Structure 1
Amino acid sequence: MATVTLKGDPINTSGSLPAIGTKAPDFLLTATDLSTHSLSNYKGSKLVLNIFPSIDTGTCAQSVRTFNQEASELENTKVLCISHDLPFAHARFCGAEGLNDVISLSDYKDGSFGKDYGLNFIDGPLETLHSRCVVVLDENHIVKYTEQVSETVDEPNYKAALEALLDE
């Protein structure tokens, strides 16, 4: 279990992020076209897992915009934006913003991604949603970098995540 804050108030998550150097847990998530995506869909690609509570908050939306801009220029890299939001909310947001360089995925069906990655909030006003995290995987889906943002309303460390992609 990890403890982070929401506007200074402590809230807890269900576990710990996958350890650096380990193989990332597989997942089944729903894309905006309602297809199911697993980790194997991205075989051979570096991945940035941009994980957040809801696309309908300012900080979460900004993280999607920033990773869309920054990571789109990196070779063999895909950004997966993951939350409990319905796929329709992801599609609406990315469509309205003209964001084409990220892949939006939803954990709405059973929440297993959040459980398997140890990042679901287990108490507080955001209970059951995902905490704000970034997980970077290499082409073999080995964990290269993780960050669980300590204050939920803060943005992740984009620079550190992007540098982890280059440190190969």
Structure 2
Amino acid sequence: MMSVKFKGNAVKLSGKELQVGQNAPEVGLVNKDLQIVKIGGAQGKYQIINVVPSLDTGVCAVQTRKFNEKAATLPNANVYVVSMDLPFAQGRFCATEGIGNLSTLSDFRKKEFGLNYGVLLADGPLEGVLTRAVFVVDPKGKVVYREVCEEITNEPDYQAPLKAIQ
């Protein structure tokens, strides 16, 4: 079982650890209008899947704003932010922050994303939410980039996922 750190303390992740070169599982997540959106799998475009514990924290908000800026320059990619936040909170966050270039999606119903991508926190103070990670899936559905942040409170690399699609 893989683990990451939260404020220096080890916490376990549950689910299948997804690696570069593997097929990205297609999962259904809930958007701000309570509609199911499928991500992963072959979508014919690149997918940048930005995973955060909660949009209500400073680091998650910064990460989402930075990927929103980058998304505006990527016509060949769909950019998503996935968290366990309820769709209403995700919609409010985007409205407040003026975020319109990416889609917020919630894994709150079945934790299907967290389990299929191996990023669901299995213990610790944040048990039940997603750890901080970034996946890039190519148009054919293969994972071409993966970063699971070793320390949940640290921002991910912003350049490497963009390089993976250029």
TM-score interval w.r.t. the shorter chain?
over 0.9
RMSD of equivalent CA atoms: 1.5
Relative to the length of structure 2, the TM-score reads: 0.95
Counterpart-to-counterpart distance in 1, 2:33 and 2:42: 17
Judged with a 3 Å threshold, the aligned counterparts in structure 2 of structure 1 residues 8 and 69 are, in CA distance, closer, same or farther, namely same
Relative to the length of structure 1, the TM-score reads: 0.94
Q: Paired residues, what number?
A: 166
Structure 2 equivalent of residue 18 of structure 1: 18
TM-superposed CA distance for 1:41, in Å, is 9.3
Structure 2 equivalent of residue 103 of structure 1: 103
Structure 1 equivalent of residue 140 of structure 2: 140
Alignment of 1:12-161 (within 5 A): 12-39=12-39, 43-161=43-161
Post-superposition CA distance 1:30-65 (Å, at most 9, x none) = 000110011379821111000011010011111110
Structure 2 equivalent of residue 7 of structure 1: 7
Counterpart-to-counterpart distance in 1, 2:140 and 2:119: 22
Unpaired segments ≥5 residues, structure 1: none
Unpaired segments ≥5 residues, structure 2: none
Judged with a 3 Å threshold, the aligned counterparts in structure 2 of structure 1 residues 94 and 41 are, in CA distance, closer, same or farther, namely farther
Counterpart-to-counterpart distance in 2, 1:43 and 1:26: 10
Judged with a 3 Å threshold, the aligned counterparts in structure 2 of structure 1 residues 58 and 89 are, in CA distance, closer, same or farther, namely same
Matched residue type, 2:163 = E
Matched residue type, 1:20 = V
TM-superposed CA distance for 1:140, in Å, is 1.2
TM-superposed CA distance for 1:15, in Å, is 4.0
Contact 1:17 1:146 in 2 (8 A): no
Among all aligned residue pairs of Structure 1 and Structure 2, give the percentage whose two residues are the same amino acid.
39
Counterpart-to-counterpart distance in 2, 1:18 and 1:37: 20
